[in-house]
Amino acid sequence: MRGIKVCGTMADKLRTRGYGTNEGGCINLSYEEALYLSERDFGTFSFENLFKEAASKLQDFDIRFFVYRDLRQRGYVVSVEKDRYLARKSYRMHFYPMSENQKFDMDVANSKELPFALAIVDGDGDITYYMVNREEPRGSNYENFTLKEHIIAGSRVFLIDSPEELGTYGKRESKFAYLSNNEARYLTGDEKIKVDESVYEVYADLRNRHLVVKSGFKYGTHFRVYEKSLEEHSRYLVHVLSEPEDLQRLSRAVRVAHGVRKTLLLAKKKDGKVVYLSVRWIRP
C-alpha cells in the first residue's frame, strides 16, 4: 500500500483534474501526486512529513517526483501508472522516469508500446527528454559490383592495379583502391575478411535496404547512412547496441546527432531481424 486516501468533495475536485485512482467513492493519491498538491498548498497534508515518508518508502522517489512535477508544470494532465506516467495535453504520451545512472536496453524498449518518451533525471535534477520510436529505414541506391582479386591488409581490403568502378563503396587512389572490411565482406562474401559479426549484420541489413553506409567514426557511432548517394547529407547515424548502453553514453550520441541534424538509430538483431529504434531529443 502506498499513497494517500482522499474522500468527499475534495476527491471529486481532484478526480476531474486527473489526480488519483478511484477506490470506491474515494481516490488514492500516489506520493508524487500528494506532494505536488501539498507544494501548492492544496490539501491538508504536511509537505515535510509526506516527503520524509515517501523518501523512506520509495527508492527512486526523487526521480519519480521530479518527472511528475515537471510534466505537471508543463501543463500536462498526468496519470500515474506502475513504472510510467501517461501525460495528456494536445497528445497522449507515456513517459518513463529514469535516473542518469540506468541503462538503455534495446530489447526492453522494443517490447513496449511505441513511441514513448524517456524522462532522464540528472545529478542536478534537470530532466532530459528523449522520444523513442521504431523505424524502417529505406534507401534508393541500387549499385551492384563484383570484385576481382583483393588483398586483405589490417582492417581493410585493397585492390591494386586498375581498380574497377566502386561507386559508393570504398575509395580509389592513384595506384590502388580500398574497401572497409564490412564493404568487402558484403561484396565478396569472403569469410576470411574479419568483421565484428553483430556490426556487420547491421551493415548488411542497411545495404540490403538500399541505403549507402559509411563509417560513423567522426560522430562516434558505427555508421552514417545516406538514402541515395554520397552527394547529399547523410540522414542517419546508426549505432549497433549489442548490450544495454549507459544512458550517459546514449546522451552523448543523441547530442551529436541533434547537433548535425541527423537521426540517431539504434540497431540490434533480434530473432533474425534487425530492429531500428530512433532516439530524438525533445522538449515536451
SS3 assignment, position 219? helix
230 binds a copy of itself (CB under 8 A): no
Q: Which one-letter amino acid corresponds to residue 233? A: H
Active-site annotation holder among 226, 239, 268, 276: 226
Q: Is 239 a catalytic residue?
A: no
Judged on CB neighbours under 10 Å (0-12, 13-18, 19+), 110 is middle
Q: Is 112 a catalytic residue?
A: no
156 binds a copy of itself (CB under 8 A): yes
Q: Is 233 a catalytic residue?
A: yes
171 binds a copy of itself (CB under 8 A): yes
Distance, CA of 174 to chain centre: 42
- 16, 136, 174, 272: which one contacts a copy of itself (CB under 8 A)? 174
Q: Computed over its alpha carbons, how large is the radius of gyration of the chain?
A: 25
- Give the contact letters, 65-94, x = binds to a copy of itself (CB under 8 A), - = no: ------------------------------
175 binds a copy of itself (CB under 8 A): yes
Which residue, 235, 223, 216, 215, is CA-closest to 274?
223
- Closer Cβ to a copy of itself, 11 or 184, answer by number: 184
155 binds a copy of itself (CB under 8 A): yes
176 binds a copy of itself (CB under 8 A): yes
158 binds a copy of itself (CB under 8 A): yes
Which residue, 187, 205, 84, is CA-closest to 136?
205
125 binds a copy of itself (CB under 8 A): yes
End-to-end CA distance of the chain: 31
Q: To which residue does cell 534487425 refer?
A: 274
Provide the grid cell at 180: 572497409
